[in-house]
Structure 1
Amino acid sequence: MPLQIHQFPCLSDNYGYLLHDPASGETVCIDTPEADVYLREAAARGWTITQIWNTHWHPDHAGGNEAIKAATGCTITAPAGDAAKIAGVDRAVGQGDTVRLGAWEASVIDVGGHTLGHVAYYVPGAQTAFVGDSLFALGCGRMFEGTAPQFWDSLSRLKTLPPETAICCAHEYTVSNARFALHADPDNAALRDYAAEIERLRADGLPAVPARLDRELATNPFLRADDPAVQARWGGGDAVATFAALRTAKDTFR
């Protein structure tokens, strides 16, 4: 039986994710921005939450841990580098570790940069990666704690995933990200087509997430910091310097 993935809005612009394995009956929360919403969405499907996998420590990702654990008795897995700031952690994980939901296995990927310990969870059997705030459709997270070399290394790890991978990010920032991407890479025809599609989806009230990795590789300027055309405009030949210039520009872009 296939893994069931339920995506739903919470807070002002977060996405919540519940993963359910019908064979074992297990259900995992990817992050916990809003405990009541997660509990309600699980109950509506007859699912019992058995695990939480946190990507990083920020309250809009781990703030619901204690309430969900109190209600369900679930176990909490969190990144080792952020675990001291996360409530209720039962297991701390890092690069190369694996987690399981029934028979489904997920690889833990170090994607530090937004926070020092940020991780992503890649489920190869479902061709899906849950990336928190490390990578967004046409964007990436703000570099609150990490460095440009660290963050570029993190994105480079995500770039090696299979091109058909669905990138499940944690916020609906896609319209604003598209505006900056068009500013950063104005001659990219594939990006112009993608941005127009995003405008249509959002105008119809539909999510622009998840995004396919192959499309992001062709259009997301932060993943293209090693591309000569992007470097010529932003960095002059070095991927880290180009990434840093793009991230700084995005921080003040209006």
Structure 2
Amino acid sequence: MAIKENLQEIKNTFINPDCLLVAVSKTKPKEDLQEAYEAGIRDFGENKVQELVDKQPQLPSDIRWHMIGHLQRNKVKYIAPFVHLIHGVDSFKLLKEINKQAKKAERTIPCLLQVHIAEEDSKFGFDETELLQLIESGELKTLEHVEIKGLMGMATFTENEEQIRREFSGLKSLFDKLKTLPLPANMKMEELSMGMSGDYLIAQEEGSTMVRIGSAIFGARG
């Protein structure tokens, strides 16, 4: 099935039509991205900086590029001039580096704070206590070139839908809790990025505003 048909099929299943679909195009050739672009997709997610940097100049300039993978501090400078949203910010050190490189690029970079919700050690992110401490410390106010738009989380890789739902529900509760707090001016709880090809419907039921879908659009990765 072609990419256009896959996209239409996915969109038809969306519970929340306002939920943003980020097409995860990692390892896929630019021709596949162009096909998705022609089918109306403008938001593409990559998990490796090198791939993002390689693809960006070869594709239409109105694409919004999302960095969805684990981002190393020494790689931030390569994407700072153009990245639309960094999903996986998992430490204050990384935020400081993003702020530094955004200042050099004379722009403000939107970010999501990654929260560790999975029962897997392999996933990155803040826990609730660390997040609350970061907010209360006042350190976020010092980052004038970073705008925190919300939270991101990845559920455990499991067939157990109850567990996935529990993890997403917990993240939504934290998201709602943060909304009630006095947040710094550069932090807003607007976006909740959760859900991928296998669990995006559960994520939408639990309040996701943004899903990251790859294999269901582009087919399995070789």
The answer to whether the superposition gives a TM-score over 0.5 is: no
Q: Which has the bigger relative contact order, CA under 8 A and spacing at least 6?
A: 2
State the TM-score, normalized to the length of structure 2.
0.32
Q: TM-score, normalised by structure 1?
A: 0.29
Query: Which has the larger share of helix?
Result: 2
